[in-house]
Structure 1
Amino acid sequence: MLNRLFQRNRHEAQALDLYEAIVAQARRPEFYSDLDVPDTIDGRFEMIAMHAFLVMHRLKTRGTEAEAVSQQLFDTLIADMDRSLREIGIGDLSVPKHIKKMAKGLYGRIVSYEKGLNDPSDAVMHAALDRNLYGTVMEVPERCFEAVTAYMRREVESLAAQPLDRLVAGHVQFGPPPAIGPLP
């Protein structure tokens, strides 16, 4: 029993390290200035969700420890959303309802991004990005969809090349955001 407690604490620390790297990458200003991602609470959540998906995609079905860290990463993301909702003044009684909705939405994003990666055309990924990452944007230039899709595919390959034991230990390295320049 004591081993499980220490293992859980280790997984929490590893997931927190991954989450901090995910948040740092998701906050890179280029996503907002060059790729038209809305610099709002929703836009920032979507960027975190997208990067969390990329890491969880790498960790899934790779063994029990990787799966445990992936689950802990998901739980860490949800706990951070819970804390954020409370900080912005959502009442204690409403938070669980919001969290349930956010968790369901996160699962939906995971499924739609997975489908997008598995489709050789970019149409499925573009539709997923339009619904999620750009869900609050009226008109998104096609070059933004293309750049983010290429970025996601590149990051999947990059994460696949990173040693799994380093990811499980909480170390992840993302590449730079796409450099397409500010939109006119």
Structure 2
Amino acid sequence: MGLLGLFTRKPHERAGFALYGAAVGAARQPVFFAELGVPDTLDGRFDLVALHTGLLVCRIARDPDPRAKDLAQAVFDAMFADMDVNLREMGVGDLAVGKRVKRMWEAFHGRAQAYEAALRTGDEAGLAGALARNVWRGEPPEGSAPRLAAIAVAADAALDRVPFAELVAGRVDFPPVPA
């Protein structure tokens, strides 16, 4: 690889970061913390980002377009580049960052698989159970897990309606969460 190869962008990198940014924006809606009682902690915020990014990555991966795999990977890469930067900004040492990011990757992967399986089978109660275990560590405020599951189902349906051309261009809007 020549010197210029070090400075070239990966396919879909810009779109991946834009899409990930949209997922983070959707995950930061105050209603999640104020009304649903999602813990406003590093773990609580990670779980909401993982939910929204997982919905997006799974939507992209389901698309028959041959670019889907690379675009889904670009969103995933953007998420974990951001996690790496955030850990470093919080003062996590260089030697520990890799281990922490690996644990976050494993958590994301497991959550995305569980949420996708429940969504594809229409198991909203199963989705609510998975969200309760992950987001609230088993004890959500009454009605919060089913409500978050309904929000995820609505977001998943909205993402399915986004044309792939919009995703490749880095454009997506998550539906607003009703108050």
Calculate the TM-score normalised by the size of structure 2. Answer: 0.89
| RMSD (CA atoms) | 2.2
CA offsets per residue over residues 119-149 of structure 1, 9 Å max, x none? 33423112210121222xx632342112111
Q: 1:174 to 1:7 in 2, by over 3 A?
A: farther
**Aligned 8 A contact 2:60 2:68 in 1:** yes
Distance 1:83 1:159 in 2: 27
Structure 2 gap ranges (5+): none
Shift of 1:10: 4.8
**Aligned 8 A contact 2:55 2:156 in 1:** yes
- 2:75 alignment partner in structure 1: 73
Structure 1 gap ranges (5+): 180-184
- Structure 1 stretches (4+) deviating beyond 4 angstroms? 4-8
The alignment covers a number of residue pairs equal to 176
Distance 1:174 1:121 in 2: 21
Q: 1:5 to 1:90 in 2, by over 3 A?
A: closer
Distance 1:39 1:7 in 2: 37
1:126 aligns with 2:128: yes
1:58 aligns with 2:55: no
Distance 2:67 2:7 in 1: 13
Counterpart residue type for residue 50 of structure 1? L
- 2:22 alignment partner in structure 1: 21
Distance 1:121 1:165 in 2: 29
**TM alignment of 1:108-119, pairs within 5 A:** 108-119=110-121
CA offsets per residue over residues 83-119 of structure 1, 9 Å max, x none? 1111111111111111111111111011110122133
Distance 2:56 2:24 in 1: 12
1:83 aligns with 2:85: yes
The percentage of counterpart residues that share the same residue type is 40
